[in-house]
């Protein structure tokens, strides 16, 4: 029995080391939680304890809200990890708050009082609403690959819809594919050059954050892929 326990602990330690501290390999919800939801009809957004979650203590909350908004909860979890390491009570130097690092301007867009932004449920709801708005604004054609679509949406989440739209307009003006992340990423980098950001199709001016945005997209997609391997949709 002792030998079995030691081997199990060693196995979990290796997995946790590989996937990160917050990735726990167990059922995302308990039977009691599922029974409670079935009885009440209200999703259980309570924080989970170690052993009851797969990605973070916010698994239930992120899953329930994201599914209501039509987004993959594992992608939203990957964003939360990058933005805050699943820390709800932090504020960045720029004023972004909470799990998803929501800016005050985003809260205003959706008529949410600033004092509610740090609340985890409100914060995750705002992030989902922002993602939906980005998808609607970008109006990517159905033929856009899932990889390109995800990368473009994440880039807009990080840098703003305006800069990504500028890069897409530049791509189109130069006869290139505005729905290709590889192409758009290159024009995001070129938006630091006056030869490009002074072009008439550019609406949001100079952009100097391309390195951060490209790293953000790669990191979130990489973590999302890991989360997809360790849990179901």
Catalytic residues: 83
- CA contacts within 13 A on the Cβ side of 179: 11
Whole-number Å distance between alpha carbons of 207 and 199:
13
Whole-number Å distance between alpha carbons of 27 and 194:
53
Q: Report helix, strand or coil for 128.
A: helix
List, in sequence order, the alpha helices (H) in 139-209.
146-159, 161-173, 181-190, 194-197
Backbone phi, psi, residue 13, to 5°:
-65, -40
CB atoms within 10 A of CB 212: 11
């Amino acid at each position: 029995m002792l030998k079995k326990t030691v081997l199990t602990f060693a196995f979990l330690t290796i997995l946790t080391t590989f996937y990160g501290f917050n990735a726990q390999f167990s059922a995302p919800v308990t039977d009691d939680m599922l029974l409670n939801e079935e009885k009440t009809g209200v999703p259980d957004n309570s924080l989970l304890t170690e052993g009851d979650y797969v990605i973070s203590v916010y698994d239930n909350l992120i899953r329930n809200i994201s599914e209501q908004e039509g987004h993959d909860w594992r992608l939203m979890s990957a964003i939360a990890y990058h933005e805050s390491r699943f820390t709800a009570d932090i504020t960045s130097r720029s004023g972004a708050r909470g799990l998803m690092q929501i800016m005050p301007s985003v809260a205003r867009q959706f008529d949410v009082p600033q004092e509610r932004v740090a609340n985890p449920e409100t914060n995750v709801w705002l992030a989902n609403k922002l993602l939906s708005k980005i998808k609607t604004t970008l109006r990517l054609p159905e033929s856009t690959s899932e990889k390109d679509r995800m990368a473009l949406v994440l880039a807009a989440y990080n840098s703003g819809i305006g800069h990504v739209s500028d890069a897409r307009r530049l791509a189109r003006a130069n006869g290139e594919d505005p729905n290709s992340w590889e192409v758009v990423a290159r024009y995001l980098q070129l938006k630091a050059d006056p030869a490009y950001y002074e072009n008439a199709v550019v609406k949001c001016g100079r952009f100097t954050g391309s390195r951060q945005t490209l790293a953000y997209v790669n990191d979130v997609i990489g973590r999302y892929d890991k989360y997809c391997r360790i849990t179901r949709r």
